[in-house]
Amino acid sequence: MTEINDTNITRRDFLKTAWSVIGGITALEAGALAIAYMQPRLAEGEFGGVLTIGAVEDFPPGSVTHITDGRFYLTRFEDGGFVAIYQRCTHLGCSVPWEQTENMFICPCHNSQFTSDGDVLNPPAPRPLDLFAVSIEEGIVKVDTGNLIVRDQFDPAHVAYAAQENE
């Protein structure tokens, strides 16, 4: 009689444990699916990821080129350095066009003005236009639109050079 009770208790414990394990695995799978669902889906070359822009020589020194898909301007300085300037105004977020004839960015919303490297010439913008990191790999310009660089002033450390210009 005692042996039968022990067996029943053991079977019950086994089933409880089995159901707990199955429930735990199911909960883990559901959690993993939820996390995967919430992850941003960025294909390479889309805004929010790393964009391959083109060859260094495609951008003459002293030029400002609007990269529409990347929502930024690629400025190449006279010394050959590059910065990628996010087009969003640091005042209230309007898109800021480059005005070639004026040689500056002029925000259409409240008339903030910025130099070709994004520094403020005229407020109300409280700080320079933000940047994205530029890298140059084997003569190809790449911009990481997933990492915004917020700055208070121009910093030469944010300028990227092709290998031969940096030496």
Instruction: Tell me which residues touch ligand FES (CB under 6 A).
Output: 89, 91-94, 107, 109-110, 112, 124-125
> Strand 98-99 vs strand 82-86: parallel, antiparallel, or unpaired?
unpaired
Compute the least distance from the CB of residue 129 to ligand FES, in Å: 10
Compute the least distance from the CB of residue 85 to ligand FES, in Å: 14
Compute the least distance from the CB of residue 137 to ligand FES, in Å: 34
Compute the least distance from the CB of residue 89 to ligand FES, in Å: 3
Nearer to ligand FES (CB atom), residue 56 or residue 117: 117
Count of other CB atoms within 10 angstroms of residue 54? 15
CA-CA distance, 130 to 128, in Å (whole number)? 6
Nearer to ligand FES (CB atom), residue 60 or residue 126: 126
Nearer to ligand FES (CB atom), residue 94 or residue 140: 94
**Nearest CA among 94, 130, 139 for reference residue 112:** 94
Give the start-end residues of each E strand in 33-118.
50-55, 63-67, 72-76, 82-86, 98-99, 104-106, 113-114
Nearer to ligand FES (CB atom), residue 109 or residue 133: 109
Here the tokens at position 55 are: 């060859």
